[in-house]
Structure 1
Amino acid sequence: MTRHEPIRQPVPVRVPLVTKPMGLWASLQASRRNVLSIIPDLATRQPMVSGKTGVRWHMVMDPEANRRVLRENIGNYPKSLVTKNLLRPAIGESMFIAEGAEWRWQRRTAAPVFSHRNMMALAPVMAGAARRSVERIAAAEGAPVDFLAEMVTTTFDVISDVTFSGGEGFERDAVHAAIDAYIGAAGKISLFDILGLPDWVPRPRRSFAAGGVGDMKAMADEVIEARRERGEGEVADLLDLLREGEDPQSGRKMTTSELRDNLLTFIVAGHETTALTLAWSLYLLAFDPDVQEEVCAEVDAVVSGDAATGEDVAALPAVRRVVDEALRLYPPAGMVSRTALGPDELCGREIRKGDTVILPIYALHRHRLLWDDPDAFRPDRWEGEKPERYAYLPFGDGPRVCIGASFATQEAVMILATMLKNFRFGAMPGRVPEPVMILTLRPEGGVWLRAERR
Structure 2
Amino acid sequence: MEAKAPWQQVAILLVTILFAHIVFKWYSQRAFFRRMAKKYDLPCLPNPPWIFGDLLTIGRITAKYPTDTHGQLVPSLLMKHYPNIADMGVIYLDVWPTASPFCAVWDPDLIAQFTQQNPRPKHEFIRQQFRPFTGLKDIVLSGGAGWKKWRAAFNPGFAMSNIMALVPWFVEEALVWRKYLDQAAQDGKTIRLETSAMEVTCDIIVRAVLGVSIGVQTGEDTKIYPSMKRAIAQLVPNWSSSTLGRFLNPWRHSRLQANNKVLSDELRDRIYEQFYNHERAEGPKTINSLAINMYLKDKGNAPDNSNEIDPDYLSYAVENIKMFLFAGHDTTATTLCYCYYYLHQHPDVLEKLRGEHNDIFSVRAGAPDFFLTHPMTRQRLPSDGFMLWAVSKAVQRHPAYWEEPDAFMPERWLTGETTKNAWRAFELGPRACIGHELAMTELRMLLVMTVRDLEIILEYNEGDPQVLGSQAYQVTMSEELTAHPRNGMPVKVKLRQRRDS
Instruction: Tell me the TM-score range normalised by the shorter chain.
Output: 0.7 to 0.9
**2:130 counterpart SS class:** helix
* Amino acid of the structure 2 residue aligned with 1:154: V
Partner of 1:264: 322
Q: CA deviation at 1:248?
A: 8.5
Partner of 1:255: 313
Partner of 2:336: 278
Partner of 1:81: 124
Q: CA deviation at 1:349?
A: 3.7
Equivalent position to 1:185, from 234, 238, 246: 234
Partner of 1:354: 385
Q: CA deviation at 1:352?
A: 4.4
* Amino acid of the structure 1 residue aligned with 2:327: A
Higher Rg of the two aligned structures: 2
* Amino acid of the structure 2 residue aligned with 1:391: A
**1:217 counterpart SS class:** helix
RMSD: 3.3
Equivalent position to 1:61, from 88, 103, 106: 106
In structure 2, relative to structure 1, the CA distance for the partners of 1:44 and 1:173 (3 Å cut) is farther
In structure 2, relative to structure 1, the CA distance for the partners of 1:225 and 1:19 (3 Å cut) is farther
Q: CA deviation at 1:131?
A: 1.4
- Give the whole-Å Cα distance in 2 for the aligned partners of 1:169 and 1:428: 28
Partner of 2:21: none
* Amino acid of the structure 1 residue aligned with 2:472: P
Query: Which one has the bigger strand percentage?
Result: 1
Percentage of pairs with the same residue = 22
- Give the whole-Å Cα distance in 2 for the aligned partners of 1:259 and 1:150: 27
Q: CA deviation at 1:121?
A: 1.2
The correspondence of residues 43-442 of structure 1 with structure 2, limited to 5 A, is 43-54=85-96, 55-74=100-119, 77-92=120-135, 93-140=137-184, 141=186, 142-166=188-212, 172-190=221-239, 203-205=247-249, 206-207=252-253, 208-231=255-278, 233-235=281-283, 236-246=285-295, 255-302=313-360, 312=361, 316=362, 319-331=363-375, 348-430=379-461, 432-436=471-475, 439-442=481-484
Q: CA deviation at 1:187?
A: 4.8
Q: Deviations over 1:326-362 (max 9, x none)?
A: 112334xxxxxxxxxxxxx996242042222111111
In structure 2, relative to structure 1, the CA distance for the partners of 1:112 and 1:68 (3 Å cut) is same
- Give the whole-Å Cα distance in 1 for the aligned partners of 2:269 and 2:113: 42
**1:451 counterpart SS class:** strand
Q: CA deviation at 1:47?
A: 1.0
Contact map agreement 1:108 1:247 (CA 8 A) in 2: no
- Give the whole-Å Cα distance in 2 for the aligned partners of 1:249 and 1:62: 42
Q: CA deviation at 1:177?
A: 1.9
* Amino acid of the structure 1 residue aligned with 2:258: G
Show structure 1 runs of 5+ residues with no match. 1-17, 195-201, 303-311, 332-344
In structure 2, relative to structure 1, the CA distance for the partners of 1:358 and 1:410 (3 Å cut) is same
Q: CA deviation at 1:99?
A: 0.6
In structure 2, relative to structure 1, the CA distance for the partners of 1:267 and 1:352 (3 Å cut) is closer
- Give the whole-Å Cα distance in 2 for the aligned partners of 1:272 and 1:293: 28
In structure 2, relative to structure 1, the CA distance for the partners of 1:66 and 1:117 (3 Å cut) is same
Q: CA deviation at 1:153?
A: 1.4
Q: Deviations over 1:276-302 (max 9, x none)?
A: 111110011111111111111111223
Q: Residue 34 in 1 paired to residue 70 in 2?
A: yes
Q: Deviations over 1:339-394 (max 9, x none)?
A: xxxxxx99624204222211111111111211222222222222202422321111
* Amino acid of the structure 1 residue aligned with 2:70: N
**1:119 counterpart SS class:** helix
- Give the whole-Å Cα distance in 2 for the aligned partners of 1:414 and 1:169: 19
Contact map agreement 1:60 1:357 (CA 8 A) in 2: yes
In structure 2, relative to structure 1, the CA distance for the partners of 1:167 and 1:370 (3 Å cut) is closer
* Amino acid of the structure 2 residue aligned with 1:213: N
TM-score (ref. length: structure 1):
0.79
Aligned residues: 400
- Give the whole-Å Cα distance in 1 for the aligned partners of 2:46 and 2:211: 49
In structure 2, relative to structure 1, the CA distance for the partners of 1:269 and 1:247 (3 Å cut) is farther
Contact map agreement 1:134 1:419 (CA 8 A) in 2: yes
**2:366 counterpart SS class:** helix
TM-score (ref. length: structure 2):
0.72
Q: CA deviation at 1:416?
A: 1.1
Say which is worse superposed, 113-122 or 395-404, in terms of deviation.
113-122
Contact map agreement 1:44 1:366 (CA 8 A) in 2: no
In structure 2, relative to structure 1, the CA distance for the partners of 1:415 and 1:112 (3 Å cut) is same
Q: Deviations over 1:43-88 (max 9, x none)?
A: 54431112323354221111111111111121xx211112111122
**1:399 counterpart SS class:** coil
Higher relative contact order (CA 8 A, sep 6+): 1
Contact map agreement 1:147 1:446 (CA 8 A) in 2: yes
- Give the whole-Å Cα distance in 2 for the aligned partners of 1:99 and 1:230: 31
* Amino acid of the structure 2 residue aligned with 1:375: D
- Give the whole-Å Cα distance in 1 for the aligned partners of 2:410 and 2:170: 24
* Amino acid of the structure 1 residue aligned with 2:427: G
